Structure 1
Amino acid sequence: MDNGKMMMLAGNIYEFFKSKQREILREYIDPPPLYEKSPGNYVGAVDEVMQEWFMDFLPRLVPCDVISEEINHPWHTRPDRFWVIDPLDGTHNHSAKMFFGHQLALIEDGVLAFSAIYLPLEEQATWDGFFFAAKCEGAWQHVPQGLRLLCASRQKNLKKAHLLLEGPSRGLRKQEFPNRVALEAERNHNGLSYAYSATRLAMGGLRPLGVDALIGYKGCPWDTLPGILLFEEAGGFMVTGWDGSPWSLENCGNLIFAATEQLLCQILALNMD
């Protein structure tokens, strides 16, 4: 994807989100009740409305299928070109008035070609809540002055690192590996959202106490793929499985996002003991 196409997609998607901002915030201020779709999997009206909007808008932008958790489409039979969407990442956080976002990615011939993340509360407060990336074209944040090129952290020492943990909280607390890493890191947080966490990673090098690494547990493609591209295009060293294997469309559940090679080696060593 060339720079011109990236900017066209990003501009159209940003305007789409801005056109829906008032409705998104209305649901945020007075959230409707959630219902449990499956054990531990909660869905609300915002998820359903955003899904309808995405299903109408994205195929008109790039004509192809749309896949998400709410769409009955087997992941292993996905087409060569498709959108993957998370209509509302952080449903629990949305209902609790915390961190949530909307995210999407475009896959073409098995390649993660484009992704975007929108954080409505940041956009409302500081006009800088839209992030996007394209393969080989960098990662960007829409700010009041224009566009800012994102840069991942250069932290090399786990003992000085800021670590984020993402995944089902009950299961995550029982996993030895991420807990060992959390104990080694200087700072750690969990329970945000993949959308929010990915943006903190991608701008880790732009902040004095930026985020340096993330460990994800049982993420779904719509959780992790948008953030993978944003992080890689921001110069993050690598995203791997917990065993160090390369991420792929089939291997994007239990992941390590490490800003530098040294950090990745230190994290992986804690899973080899």
Structure 2
Amino acid sequence: MTLQEPTLQQVITWAKEAGRIALDGFHQIHHIQMKSALDVVTEIDHACERALMDHIQRDFPTHAIITEETGEVKGDADHCWYIDPLDGTINYSHRLPVYATSIAYARNGKMQMGVVYDPSRDECFSAQRGKGAWLNGKPIHVSACESLQKSLLTTGLPSGNEEHLDRNLRAVRYFTQNTQGVRRLGSVAIAVCYAACGRTDGHWDLGSTPWDMAACALIVEEAGGMVTDLEGNPDYFKSPYDFVAASLGIH
């Protein structure tokens, strides 16, 4: 009998398997291909993605899948997976150990579970809608910070869109002058999960992607935080995928 929906433990197991592939290959000399003038993909991205897709297509063959490398795999749109097999490929290709596997499952257009696994630190962030968020099985919560001046934020700097870059650099300047600092980690999934567990107080991004944000956005929400577009609207999961994820006190 074909299963209709996954369990969270099932998704965690898959994410950790893909993460181990990335960790095992970390110190190898990689075959790097240019996806664009500034964006790269390695053979490890493809290997991690293939491992995740094999599990989904074996256990849930009718489900739709949207991935960073393969793109869209047609299926039942009421059951859709979002996969970033190696979020932080630029870091990874330079042997900077800040990268993660990100996988999320949505039913009827709503994220139901998300997992972000950082193999370098063996940290597994997970969430299930209505049930909470966890780091290695222990409940997590966003910070209690209520002052922007006391907050530590993260962001991304989009290199392929000059308008987004200019807008974000203005925001970086403002927040650098009005917070305790702004960091750029090079992995959206890890940065947002750090806000979910209170290591930082918030993250904003311009021109993200559905596979970058699907899992980590749910993790923040289930950890007691808020995710919206830049205007404060809760309908953030759509193009151009601009979003803010933060604790309630500073959102």
Same fold per superposition (TM over 0.5): yes
User: What is residue 271 of structure 1 aligned with on the other side?
Assistant: none
Deviation (angstroms), 1:12: 2.3
Unaligned runs of 5+ in 1: 124-128, 205-209, 265-273
User: What is residue 137 of structure 1 aligned with on the other side?
Assistant: 131
Deviation (angstroms), 1:19: 4.3
> For residues 150 and 179 of structure 1, what CA distance do their matches in structure 2 show?
30
> For residues 247 and 233 of structure 1, what CA distance do their matches in structure 2 show?
16
SS in 1 for 2:7: helix
Counterpart selection for 1:168 from 148, 154, 158: 158
SS in 2 for 1:43: strand
Does residue 80 of the first structure (1) align with residue 97 of the second (2)?
Answer: no
User: What is residue 268 of structure 1 aligned with on the other side?
Assistant: none
CA contact (8 A) 2:64 2:73 kept: no
User: What is residue 187 of structure 1 aligned with on the other side?
Assistant: 181
Deviation (angstroms), 1:148: 0.3
Unaligned runs of 5+ in 2: none
User: What is residue 213 of structure 1 aligned with on the other side?
Assistant: 202
Deviation (angstroms), 1:47: 0.8
User: What is residue 246 of structure 1 aligned with on the other side?
Assistant: 234
User: What is residue 65 of structure 1 aligned with on the other side?
Assistant: 64
CA contact (8 A) 1:178 1:215 kept: no
Letter of the structure 2 residue corresponding to residue 138 of structure 1: G
CA contact (8 A) 1:106 1:114 kept: yes
> For residues 39 and 186 of structure 2, what CA distance do their matches in structure 1 show?
16
Q: 1:56 to 1:131 in 2, by over 3 A?
A: same
Count of residues in correspondence between the two structures: 242
> For residues 48 and 90 of structure 1, what CA distance do their matches in structure 2 show?
14
Deviation (angstroms), 1:167: 3.9
Sequence identity (%): 25
C-alpha deviations, 1:32-65, integer Å up to 9, x for none?
0321112322111111111111110123344412
User: What is residue 196 of structure 2 aligned with on the other side?
Assistant: 202
Between stretches 38-47 and 130-139, larger displacement belongs to 38-47
> For residues 220 and 21 of structure 1, what CA distance do their matches in structure 2 show?
20
Deviation (angstroms), 1:78: 8.1
Q: 1:108 to 1:152 in 2, by over 3 A?
A: same
CA contact (8 A) 1:225 1:252 kept: no
Q: 1:173 to 1:20 in 2, by over 3 A?
A: closer
Q: 1:105 to 1:141 in 2, by over 3 A?
A: same
> For residues 150 and 141 of structure 2, what CA distance do their matches in structure 1 show?
18
Q: Which structure has the highest helix share of the two?
A: 1
CA contact (8 A) 1:140 1:149 kept: yes
Deviation (angstroms), 1:73: 2.7
Deviation (angstroms), 1:251: 4.8
Deviation (angstroms), 1:139: 0.3
- TM (norm. structure 1) is 0.80
User: What is residue 93 of structure 1 aligned with on the other side?
Assistant: 91
Counterpart selection for 1:232 from 221, 246, 249: 221
- TM (norm. structure 2) is 0.87
> For residues 234 and 55 of structure 1, what CA distance do their matches in structure 2 show?
27
